A = this chain, B = another copy of it.
């Protein structure tokens, strides 16, 4: 139930990286944490035994539901402290991150919940990022249809507009499901089809009819 500063930093980094990539590699994480790949492997084994991680050697990793819950707790603490530092202590918005990096590891739940109340249950930190509530829920952004997403912007599949077997079959074929990270690379004027990148690398072309039935949000958390 309680994690070391080091474990928390790993969990947090994995959370942020997998938001961008879906799955995280050893080298990516080592670069992010300014440590060595060998150290990452050691920690991954440890986090796997704690059931916070899906991890197969050589295959990258992603957080389990438990891991995600832990990550959201850390992010909640970080962003609440950022809000406090900016709002109450008059730090400028570019100073808050560094200080919050230290404060976020104080994980007393009562402290954080009381801080939240004291601050008036803010929805966003000074950088505009959403603050998870005491249950780890992030106020979901509005769902919008894929054709309305700007180019080169990362977003996450949040739902579909109908449940027909035909649509689901197509989605399955294209490996698109709830939670898949999508970036629109090109929109073709001729037929309104679009080229999208899903997950880490696969490039796909989808029709306008399909795109219209895919709902996304910008911040799945």
A3 within 8 A of B: no
- Alpha-carbon separation in the docked complex, A110 to B91 (Å): 9
Interface residues of A (CB under 8 A from B): 85, 88-91, 95, 99, 102-103, 106, 108, 110-111, 114-115, 118
* A95: B residues at CB distance < 8 A: 110
**A89:B102 contact, CB within 8 angstroms:** no
Chain A interface, >50% SS class: helix
A110 to chain B, nearest CB (A): 8
**B118:A99 contact, CB within 8 angstroms:** no
- Alpha-carbon separation in the docked complex, A102 to B2 (Å): 14
* 20 A–B contacts from the bound complex (CB under 8 Å): A85-B111, A88-B118, A89-B111, A89-B114, A89-B115, A89-B118, A90-B114, A90-B118, A91-B110, A91-B114, A95-B110, A99-B106, A99-B108, A99-B110, A99-B111, A102-B106, A102-B108, A103-B103, A103-B106, A106-B106
- Alpha-carbon separation in the docked complex, A134 to B85 (Å): 19
* A85: B residues at CB distance < 8 A: 111
- Alpha-carbon separation in the docked complex, A126 to B115 (Å): 18
